[in-house]
Structure formats: C-alpha cells, structure tokens
Amino acid sequence: MLFDYVEGGAEDERTISENVAAFSKIKLLPHRLRDVSKRTTDVDLLGTRIAAPLVVGPTGLNCAIWPNGDTALATAAKRAGVPFALSTASNERLETVAKVGGELWFQLYVVHRELAARLVDRAANAGYAALVLTVDVPVNGKRERDLRNGFQIPFRYSARTILDAVTHPLWTASLLMNGTPTLANLAADNATTLQAQNALLRREMDASFDWDDLARLRDLWPRRLLVKGVCSPEDIARCFAIGADAVVISNHGGRQLDDAVSPLEILPQVRHLGPVLVDGGVRRGSDIVKAVALGAKAVLIGRSVLYGLAASGEAGASKALSILYEEIDRTLALIGCPAASRLDETFIHRNDEGPLSRSAVP
C-alpha cells in the first residue's frame, strides 16, 4: 500500500515515465584538458549558499513510511547542507520540525482560506525561510493504485489492508508502537479541523484560488515566496510579475495530470524570466547536472530520498542524498566542469528538436 503510494502516479502513469525519459533525451557534452582536480558542488540559491543544487521537496504522510519521518528528512537535509521543504500534509507539526534547524521551507496547500492564513503566520513565527505555494491541485489526480488499495489517513481497515499489514509485520509493529499518523498541522487548528482534514485527504483544495489571491499572499508573506506546480510560460512570467521570488516548474511528479508536459522540456523556454527550479524524473546526480546546465537554479527531489527513508530512516535519507552528491561531483569531473555554479548550456549537446528547442515567451 505504501510502496504504491510513493511509487505511483495518475491514471496510466505515462507522465512519470515521460519525466524520466526527458532526462535521458538530454546528452552531456564533455570538455577535456581542464583542471578538475578540485571541484565544488555548492551553489547560490535565492541568496543562500547550499552544498549542492538540490532541495528535499515537500512530501506528505512521511511518518507512515518511517516514525518521525518529517524530522528525519529535515535532519538529513540539514546534515547535507541543502534545504528541506515541509508539506502542509506532514505528520509532524511545523513547529516541531522547525526545531531541527537548517534551511527550512514550508509548502502551503490552500484548503481553507482562514486556515491557510494561520498556517502562513505559524510558518513565519517558526522561522521558515521560504513559503512554497503549490497551485496544481484544484482537484485530486486519479491515482488508481491508491484507489485500489484504499489508501488514506487514517487508515481504512478492510480485509485487503489487514492482509497487507499482516504480511509486513515490522511496519505494522512500528505503527502500533508509534501510533497512526495524523495530519498534525491541521489537527492543531480546532476551528476547521474536520473540514480541512477531509479536504486535504481527498486533495480537494480551494479551486477558486486565483491570481488576485496569489498577489494577496505575496503581500502577506514577508520572506521568499516560491510558486510550485506551474508549467505554462505565460503563467511563469505572471508569477514573477506578481512578485514571486522563484517558480518551481512541476507536474507534481506525474501524480496529478497524466500526459502533462515534463518540466525539463519547459525549462529552456523560461530560464530567462527569473529563478526557476524543476522537479520530476530525477533519478541520478547526472540528472541534476543536466537541469542546472539548462538553467535551473536547483532541483527538488522526492521519491529518491523517500526510498532511503523507507529503508532505514534518517540514515537512509542521508545515504540517498550522499549518493546524489557523489554522482553530481563525479559528473562534474567527467564533463570537465570544476564547479556546479559554472554549469551552463555549453555542457549540453544541442539538438534542433526536443527539450532544447525554443519558443516565443512573453
């Protein structure tokens, strides 16, 4: 059940495959006889120096994967020297995770207007450095694996889920010892708890949230604001016009709209508009190098670090990050680039078609 939740996507899951394929279509162009005996992977991201051009992206229900999973991921990210984005759908309170320290971002789902405003205030008071507004969930994508499994929080007990639990005794024992995960950020707000939790579990966000609301949120939030889930060049340009500090080009990892365009395909068209990040399809450190060379300031990762978390908690998440870091470093050496901050399109083999093609952008 949980494997399908992490691994799965919307409908036929073609978008997941296309996200991965987009990276495989990009070919690196190595440069030789350059001094790469000393290499650096650190980059500047929105005024903050981070150890590598990656961010541990926001993922929900992490404590169902490993006890205190949100704190474990935040701790692993802090040790790796990269940002961690906590989801509204986390199982630990945002104030609890804030105690870990490091470069912390808070990802906001607007389920209920008043609740969203309170979450923004709480994130500001807790010291989160950035707010990541996710805008690609006006309704829930059709995730057929979850529908088949009956996956939801709190867990719905049926013959199928009981059999699933019995055949995974270590996970079940951990669940019994640590308790069933809850949506802690919503449970802490009694005014709209039941309505908001039900909506978030069904991923039924406020579908009326529009550009005027984004402008009001920009005025409300005092620090860096990122808008996540935007793919249209016109929409990306408008985000920057309103005052967003960065945009995350994203199709939600293929979990919302099947056959959605891959973020990497949009990146070359919009990189001049302002700081852009991408997610979806990242499986190797070389993928991160490709994205940065094409103009991304950093890449958000999800599934890779969640598999590490599922394997051995914080240590597994740290191992996953270290693998990506080592692969970034090795790729830099092999393409003749001594610093991730010096990556550009000269390290990419140009094609007349595909993700490197350009189109008119406002």
Q: Which residues are marked as active site?
A: 252
Residue the block writes with tokens 């494997």: 3
**DSSP character string of 187-215:** HT-TTSHHHHHHHHHTT---TT--HHHHH
Q: Omega before 338 cis (within 30°)?
A: no
Q: How far apart are CA 47 and CA 53, in angstroms?
A: 13
Q: In Å, how far are 69, 142, 194, 198 from 12, measured between CA atoms? A: 29, 9, 32, 26
Residue the block writes with tokens 């740290």: 318
Q: How far apart are CA 291 and CA 196, in angstroms?
A: 36
What percent of the chain is helix, strand and coil (3-state, nearest 5)?
45, 10, 40
CA dihedral 355, 341, 299, 68 (to 10 degrees): 170
Element (H, E) at 319: helix 303-335
Distance between start and end Cα atoms, the chain: 44
* Tokens representing residue 207 in the block: 């579908």
Three-state secondary-structure class, residue 60: coil
Q: How far apart are CA 122 and CA 119, in angstroms?
A: 5
Q: How far apart are CA 72 and CA 100, in angstroms?
A: 9
